[in-house]
């Protein structure tokens, strides 16, 4: 009986703690910057191994205050992002340049997480595609010479 009361009491406390946390709402600045990307996904399509792996995500600050990108992080070391470090004024554009290592073969899909002071502080961008082997010149088979001399006597 004591165990049952203990379990019910703990469940009640856990429920109340969860409710208290959901009632605390983050105050949103109505003038906060807003980041809007021209596209959220860049599809490389099929690329030859060693091809140009550079692509650019373009964004606009549609808010009323300067937008500051505090971090841009790729999901793995094969993708390297570079981004606008200066504040982006309202109505202005910025960009995030992404380089994917096209020496790696096969299908890929990588995420880039953008952290900023925008109303939506985290935004996930995606690059995807397939890296194919370089075309090689066809090799011609080497013909072996055979002796077909037949001795006549």
Tally of CA atoms within 13 A in the half-sphere of 116 that contains its CB: 30
Measured between alpha carbons, how far is 115 from 59 in angstroms, rounded to an integer? 13
Check pLDDT > 70 for residue 151. no
Strand ranges across the sheet with 122-132: 41-48, 122-132, 106-116, 69-74
| Tokens 């082997």 found at | 133
44 domain-assigned: no
pLDDT at 16 over 70: no
Q: Domain span at residue 91?
A: 49-130
Identify the three-state secondary structure at position 2: helix
Both structure tokens of 19: 């409710």
Query: Does 66 fall in a domain?
Result: yes
List the CATH number of the domain containing 115.
2.60.40.10
Q: Is there a domain that residue 34 lies in?
A: no
pLDDT in tens, 59-94: 999 999 999 999 999 999 999 999 989 999 999 999
Give me the DSSP letters along 3-25: HHHHHHHHHHHHHHHHHHHHH--
Q: What is the pLDDT of residues 93-113, one digit of tens each?
A: 999 999 999 999 999 999 999
| Residue 11 located in a structural domain | no
What distance in Å separates the CA atoms of residue 110 and residue 79, rounded to the nearest whole number? 8
User: Does pTM surpass 0.85?
Assistant: no
Domain for residue 30, yes or no? no
Residue 42: inside a domain: no
Q: How many domains does the chain have?
A: 1
129: three-class secondary structure by DSSP: strand
In a domain, 95, yes or no: yes
Report yes or no on 85 lying in a domain: yes
């Amino acid at each position: 009986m004591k165990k049952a009361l203990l379990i019910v009491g703990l469940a009640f406390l856990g429920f109340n703690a969860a409710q208290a946390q959901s009632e605390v709402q983050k105050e949103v600045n109505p003038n906060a910057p807003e980041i809007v990307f021209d596209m959220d996904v860049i599809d490389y399509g099929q690329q030859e191994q060693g091809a140009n792996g550079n692509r650019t995500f373009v964004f606009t600050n549609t808010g009323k205050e300067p937008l500051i990108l505090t971090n841009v992080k790729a999901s793995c070391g094969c993708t390297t992002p570079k981004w606008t470090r200066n504040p982006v004024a309202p109505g202005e554009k910025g960009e995030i340049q992404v380089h994917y290592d096209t020496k790696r073969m096969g299908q890929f899909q990588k995420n880039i997480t953008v952290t900023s002071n925008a109303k939506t502080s985290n935004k996930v961008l995606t690059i995807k595609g397939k890296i194919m082997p370089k075309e090689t010149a066809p090799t011609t088979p080497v013909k072996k010479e055979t002796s077909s001399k037949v001795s006549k006597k």
